Structure 1
Amino acid sequence: MRLARTSTDVVFGGCVLVLLGYSAYQLATVWGPQYWILDAATGAVVGMITLLRRYDRWRAAVAGLTIAAVTVLVAWTAGLPTEPGPAMAVGLAVLVGSGVASLPIPQAGVVAAGGLIVAVGSLLIGHGSGVGTVNAAGWVIATTAGLALRLRDVRRRAAAERIRQDERIELARELHDVVAHHISGIVLQAQGARIVGRRTPSQYDESLAGIEAAGAEALAAMRRVVGLLRSDDVVPGPMRLDQLRELAARFDEHGQAISLDLPAAEPSWPPEVMMTVCRVVQESLTNVTRHAAHAATVTVRVVQVSNTVAVEVADDAEHNARHQRPGYGLIGLRERVEALGGTLSAGPRAGAGWTVEVSLPLEPAR
């Protein structure tokens, strides 16, 4: 980056020197000796200011435009050749374009307006000469280029912000899926341990061991999430339907019968579809433990129909108030599902209970 800037400055400085020499020769030939001094001096000063613009673009632009405006007035009142000359015009174009591209909007507007005033002044005193036209064309090109660069930067920042927002949402989903599921299991086992402690004290240690195991799983899951944040090389392993069977087995241990209807063989679904299926079932079962712990049975059905995967999780709890206070879990699931072109519906069943239904296409929409 520094080498590129240095090279650009060297090229710019060389162009200014060439233009200063060319302009001095033309003025001395056409107007006579000493008429080139004002143009050469002011052009060199503005060129030097342009080279120093990166230290303070606002002050550099104001200084360059002020010198140019004063030069125009001096040339007009003293009857000198039209200003700004070619060298100063190039420097002003760089200052205006740079200011419009990078300065705050109010300051960028002032710089653009100042450049326009100088260009119009040059046209007015030029009486149709080519110098005024060159300055006007330079202002138009500089302003257009500055606006284009500014728009590009705005789009880049917007894209970066969208990426950061997507990363935050994805992180929130992962944290919710991991933390909510494991902590819910710990809470459920702790509640069971209190009952076991009162009724069968001999099994109290076994209940505590289950809580310890659930806590260890939660810690390991959190470490995996942290690993994803700390390194780009760490990626989550592929999810499988066997994990749903293990999940159902853990729920069975807590007294809630899980009826599983899964494909007999491990399907070759895309990884993102498989992960979403597992997350839907995991979140739905977690919600059952939270809001319908008294449900007698819970049915989990995952089937493939043509090019669509259908997921249904239903419970038979007599009372379910989840629809009154929706949490972030279903919101995150809906975002996951819709990102893959699928649909999600959740609500009370006819009679009693709650159902979550998801449809996921195996092929992206075209």
Structure 2
Amino acid sequence: MDWHLPFTPAVKRLITVCGLLAFALTWLADIVLLARSPDPFHTATNWLPILVTGPVATLAALETRFSPPLLRRIWVVVVMSLALSCVSIAAPQHGSSWGALESAGLVVLVLRTTAQTPRTATAAASAAALSFAVLTLPVRRGSWSAIVGGGYVLTVALAVAITLGCAMRAQEARRRRAITDVRQAERLALARDLHDLIAHHMTGIIVQAHAATAVYPTAPDKVEPILRNIAQAGTETLESMRRLVRVLREDNHTALRPGDLLSELSELTASHSAPAAAGASPCAARLEATAAARTAHLSPEVEISVYRVVQEALTNIRRHAPGAQAGVRLDADDTWLWVRVTNTAAPKRTPSPAGGHGGFGLIGLRERIEALDGTFRSGPLPDGGWEVEAALPLPTSAPGQGAFHPPGTHRPSDRG
């Protein structure tokens, strides 16, 4: 499970720097107290929490690409901390240290295991073991005042850490449920679109079949072209039906009428360029389609998916980067159709976009595109803008053939 905090990358970096600074200052305070003791290295239980178990607990609480799994780190730290506490209890020695850095590392581990461990039972067991290790730390001092006062402070710290961890865990569960709902809704929307377009094809087949029946007695030579058209329409319908069985379907839908994709995209980019409201930042969108994209034979579900990609991308540009310049580009080869929507950085910063953050439109687009055997990706550009790109197979390609070409890679239509 990953951290999914509603912060920008800059804020996340600031939180990381502040956390590292807090650990460093805590360790510095431990070292200063150790240096001020009369004989700092005479008692092992005095310097071990500061120079060994404290740094180990801190490293276990941090997350790097070289870190072992979280549960393994947790149990190693628990065993080390409890072993040192048991030694202090079994052989009390004057001057044993508590270890503020070790306490901080254990509390952060409680927060992390509560928030991030996938299984609830494992998270509860790990948090309980860590809490027990934390509450035994004041026993190392061997005085009732340290046990009572330290136990109170650590109990409050544990309560705060567990509460925050549970809140983050609940937020992650809500996020996952929302993603599941969005994916399911996108499957249903795709199924409705396919159902309506298949009905459109079947209507055409029926009309042509009646026409062939009507003209056959008087003009038999005109029946053959009609039969070829019926065969082609039937093939396209079967291709759509193959995809239809992969998604669910609802009956309470409204009919959709297919139109010309480039005309609809032109209207969409024109409406995006129109001012949204008086005083709003002007937005400009440019549509570009290569000759291969204009002449490509697109299945109905691909046309609708391309329209949905452009529609969602332009909506996000207006919400998150008002005033930015947008570009829509269609490209194709013999097997794939690419649609790419990019925008420049916003002229001015928008602290709170209309409708707020945390939408799931891109998740729904990914679900729609992948249901059609395509690929989808989105991400920032080096100049501060954003990019959304989808690749969809053309009807002549078999599922799984071809590959997705990221921006900047060679495509057949890019040849000079």
| TM-score normalised per structure 1 | 0.53
Query: Which AA in structure 1 matches 2:201?
Result: H
Greater Cα shift, 206-215 or 25-34: 206-215
* 3-state SS of paired residue (1:67): helix
Residue in structure 1 matched with residue 49 of structure 2 by the alignment? 39
* 1:50 to partner: Cα distance: 2.3
Pick the structure with greater CA Rg.
1
**CA deviation profile, 1:229-253 (whole Å, cap 9, x unmatched):** 2462159xxxxxxxxxxxxxxxxxx
The correspondence of residues 203-222 of structure 1 with structure 2, limited to 5 A, is 204=223, 207-208=226-227, 211=230
Matched, 1:94 2:94: no
Cα distance change of structure 1 residues 109 and 201 upon mapping to structure 2, 3 Å threshold: same
* 1:168 to partner: Cα distance: 1.1
Which of 290, 301, 323 aligns to 1:225? It is 301
Query: Which AA in structure 1 matches 2:57?
Result: V
Which of 118, 137, 157 aligns to 1:122? It is 137
CA contact (8 A) 1:68 1:118 kept: yes
Cα distance change of structure 1 residues 5 and 82 upon mapping to structure 2, 3 Å threshold: farther
* 1:140 to partner: Cα distance: 1.8
The correspondence of residues 74-153 of structure 1 with structure 2, limited to 5 A, is 74-80=87-93, 84-105=98-119, 106-122=121-137, 127-129=144-146, 130-153=149-172
* 1:74 to partner: Cα distance: 2.0
Matched, 1:176 2:252: no
Residue in structure 1 matched with residue 330 of structure 2 by the alignment? none
Greater Cα shift, 164-173 or 104-113: 104-113
Greater Cα shift, 32-41 or 123-132: 123-132
The correspondence of residues 350-361 of structure 1 with structure 2, limited to 5 A, is none
Question: 1: CA distance between counterparts of 2:124 and 2:97?
Answer: 23
Cα distance change of structure 1 residues 134 and 24 upon mapping to structure 2, 3 Å threshold: farther
* 1:102 to partner: Cα distance: 1.3
Question: 2: CA distance between counterparts of 1:214 and 1:45?
Answer: 68
Query: Which AA in structure 1 matches 2:303?
Result: G
CA contact (8 A) 1:53 1:95 kept: no
**CA deviation profile, 1:269-305 (whole Å, cap 9, x unmatched):** xxxxxxxxxxxxxxxxxxxxxxxxxxxxxxxxxxxxx
Unaligned runs of 5+ in 2: 1-7, 241-257, 260-297, 313-416
**CA deviation profile, 1:145-165 (whole Å, cap 9, x unmatched):** 111111111111111111111
RMSD of Structure 2 on Structure 1 (CA): 3.8
CA contact (8 A) 2:74 2:109 kept: yes
* 3-state SS of paired residue (2:40): coil
Cα distance change of structure 1 residues 7 and 197 upon mapping to structure 2, 3 Å threshold: same
Unaligned runs of 5+ in 1: 236-366
The alignment-based identity, stated in percent, is: 26
Higher helix proportion, which one?
Answer: 1
Question: 2: CA distance between counterparts of 1:233 and 1:83?
Answer: 63
Question: 2: CA distance between counterparts of 1:193 and 1:128?
Answer: 100
* 1:95 to partner: Cα distance: 1.5
Query: Which AA in structure 2 matches 1:39?
Result: P
Question: 2: CA distance between counterparts of 1:213 and 1:39?
Answer: 78
Residue in structure 2 matched with residue 50 of structure 1 by the alignment? 61
Residue in structure 2 matched with residue 21 of structure 1 by the alignment? 28
* 1:116 to partner: Cα distance: 2.1
Query: Which AA in structure 2 matches 1:45?
Result: V
Alignment length, in residue pairs? Answer: 235
Matched, 1:70 2:83: yes
Query: Which AA in structure 1 matches 2:61?
Result: T
Cα distance change of structure 1 residues 133 and 78 upon mapping to structure 2, 3 Å threshold: farther
Question: 1: CA distance between counterparts of 2:63 and 2:236?
Answer: 59
Question: 2: CA distance between counterparts of 1:18 and 1:32?
Answer: 23
Greater Cα shift, 106-115 or 149-158: 106-115
CA contact (8 A) 1:101 1:150 kept: yes
Question: 2: CA distance between counterparts of 1:180 and 1:84?
Answer: 75
CA contact (8 A) 2:108 2:161 kept: yes
Query: Which AA in structure 2 matches 1:40?
Result: I
Query: Which AA in structure 2 matches 1:233?
Result: V
Cα distance change of structure 1 residues 20 and 203 upon mapping to structure 2, 3 Å threshold: closer
| TM-score normalised per structure 2 | 0.47
CA contact (8 A) 1:71 1:83 kept: no
**CA deviation profile, 1:68-112 (whole Å, cap 9, x unmatched):** 212221222232567652111111111121122111223312211
Cα distance change of structure 1 residues 205 and 19 upon mapping to structure 2, 3 Å threshold: closer
**CA deviation profile, 1:128-183 (whole Å, cap 9, x unmatched):** 42333333223222221111111111111111111111111111111101112322
